Amino acid sequence: MQQAFVKSDLINGVGTITFFHPQSNSMPGLQLNNLAIEIEKLGNDEKVKVIVLKSEGEKAFCAGASFDELIAIKDFETGKKFFSGFAAVINAMRKAPKFIIARVQGKSVGGGLGIASSADYCFALKDASCKLSELAVGIGPFVVGPAVERKVGKSAFCELTINATEWRSAAWGNAKGLYNELFETANQMDTSIDALAQRLANSNPQAMSMLKKVMWEGTENWDTLLLERAAMSGTLVLSEFTINAINTFKTK
């Protein structure tokens, strides 16, 4: 079985970060840590003018938290640390002084939707449905919630949160502002991603950095807010309800 990885490359000013996990691109703590580090590294690299974030495989962009790791959490500090991993990724994307383009080729669930929502521009295939499934397993989208709400608005965020087992179509995501452009095929999407990335790579880096700060105004408190939210999830993951819900979900 192919091993999980996070890797990056740089071509003509475009830094591409690719992640993979054999379980539908889910995110164990180590994977989250490596992804945050890679985003920060490319964000600080003067040779990188724009960042493209993508995953391997066809069915899932990112399945969110690793259930195997969730069920192994036995104390609050471990739980808080795990959910802080999603906070680190979101904050790295938020603070990177480069535009981040996301390539969403498949489904996004929970934390995966939070990552997609944290991109500055998002391309997706027409089958790239999404959901926030946290409540269905006894937790809640506390850490990723601010990123998702910022992207789709409070009403749509509440819809995703409350009706946690229902998939929302890519067309729904496009209408709510989650996905900026939809495509029939991966080839079409990749052609458009390459074209936009190259245009941005040839744009004024100072202007783009300043624009990114303007676009993310009002999120300056997320360094502390998302850690507070991680503590909420870290508490709930220890509850008997959540443990039973995750075990039931894993057997499906």
Q: What pLDDT is attached to residue 68?
A: 87
Q: What is the dihedral of CA 68, 34, 193, 186, to 10 degrees?
A: -30
Q: What pLDDT is attached to residue 189?
A: 98
What is the pTM (predicted TM-score) of this model?
A: 0.96
Domain 5-201 architecture: Alpha-Beta Complex (3.90)
Amino acid symbol at 35: L
Inform me whether the pLDDT recorded for 1 exceeds 80. no
Inform me whether the pLDDT recorded for 251 exceeds 80. no
- DSSP E strands in 157-233: the ranges are 181-183
Q: What pLDDT is attached to residue 250?
A: 67
Q: What is the dihedral of CA 27, 29, 31, 35, to 10 degrees?
A: 100
Inform me whether the pLDDT recorded for 158 exceeds 80. yes
Inform me whether the pLDDT recorded for 137 exceeds 70. yes
Computed over every residue of the chain, the mean pLDDT equals 96
For residues 130-140, give the mean pLDDT.
Answer: 94
pLDDT tens per residue, range 10-29: 999 999 999 999 999 999 99
Inform me whether the pLDDT recorded for 152 exceeds 90. yes
For residues 181-188, give the mean pLDDT.
Answer: 98
**Lowest mean pLDDT, pick from 1-5, 57-61, 112-116:** 1-5
pLDDT tens per residue, range 39-88: 999 999 999 999 999 999 999 999 999 988 998 999 999 999 999 999 99
**Range 33-42 burial, b when 16+ CB lie within 10 A, else e:** bbbbebbbeb
Backbone angles phi, psi at 187, to 5 degrees: -60, -45
**Lowest mean pLDDT, pick from 105-114, 151-160, 202-211, 236-245:** 236-245
Provide the pLDDT confidence category of residue 217 given band limits of 50, 70 and 90.
Answer: very high
Return the DSSP state at 45.
-
For residues 155-180, give the mean pLDDT.
Answer: 98
Residues of the chain with pLDDT > 70, as a percent, come to 98
